[in-house]
Amino acid sequence: MRSRFRSDRRLTLRMTVTLFLLGLLYVGFVAALIVLLKSWLLVVVLVGAVFVAQFWFSDRIALFAMRGRVVERAEYPELHAVVDRLCAIADMPKPVVAVSGMDMPNAFATGRDPDHAVVCVTTGLLRRLEPAELEGVLAHELSHVAHKDVAVITVASFLGVVAGLVVRFAFYSQLFGGGRRDQNTAVVLATVIGVSAAVYAISFLLIRALSRYRELAADRAAALLTGRPSALSAALTKVSGDIARIPTKDLRTAQAFNAFYFTPATGKEPGVERFFSTHPSLEQRLEQLGRISAELGEAAVPGTGGAGTGGAGKAG
């Protein structure tokens, strides 16, 4: 079923090209492993197990890592109400709604398809945002689900995960078993490490490039669906500023999931490393939303008082 989120042909093209290139890389990588390890069964079992775990259980893995839990309407009535309203406007299935107890203000969407999706927000986000701002963030996350780029990022990152696992396995095998191995085995292991590292680096760059574009696409889709790009701009500014004040050591655990977040848990705007970032810069995102706001002739979103969303939290 097609949602009413604005389709993005450029995003679809980028996802297709990225998956095609990663597919070629994947075939070459598996073939190289089979030749080097001389065991197609070992390679197939390893690759198959990681793929099943990452694709089918990606939502559970993400929720577990981020200390998120599924919440019912009775516990977070206003949060459910916002998701219900947006799903009705977008004509899409309602995802599972979850909340993480983390103070870091953020949100993410995960799941293999729109019928098995989860949208999770942190209590830090609920406490800081006004209702219109929260709606913009949730529309952004729902657009990821509707555009299916959550599933594409999950599948695309699979190759990097496998390559990373192979590098670690081969490295430790070489490190702790070197004295008991002949020279040919050492050469094979060194080659496996080299091939896996190269595959990881290429997949890393391809995924980061796609991730940056999909964030801009989600901002566009959310702004057009809600008709209030300035509310999304306010949320971006507020969340990015608050994350920048969180000590880096407290963000390290969350950084592994940056590709899925509304705003990256880096604590600073990227410099030269922006070419390796999962998100475009805040300036780029605000500039795009400003153009959309001008096109829509949108007036500034009126304040709703000094209180945050409060009611989106637990029911009293």
Annotated binding site: 140, 144, 215
Feature table: binding site for Zn(2+): 140, 144, 215
- Compute CA distances 181 → 42, 64, 169, 175, whole Å: 20, 39, 15, 11
From CA 265, how far away is CA 299, in angstroms rounded?
31
* DSSP category for residue 39: -
From CA 79, how far away is CA 308, in angstroms rounded?
13
Residue type, 17: V
Cβ atoms of 119 and 87 closer than 8 Å? no
Nearest 5°: the CA angle 34, 37, 43 is: 50
Per the annotation, the verdict on 78 as an active-site residue is: no
Active-site choice (141, 283, 287, 295)? 141
From CA 63, how far away is CA 60, in angstroms rounded?
5
Which stretches of 157-275 are assigned E, i.e. beta strand? none
Query: Residues with catalytic annotation?
Result: 141
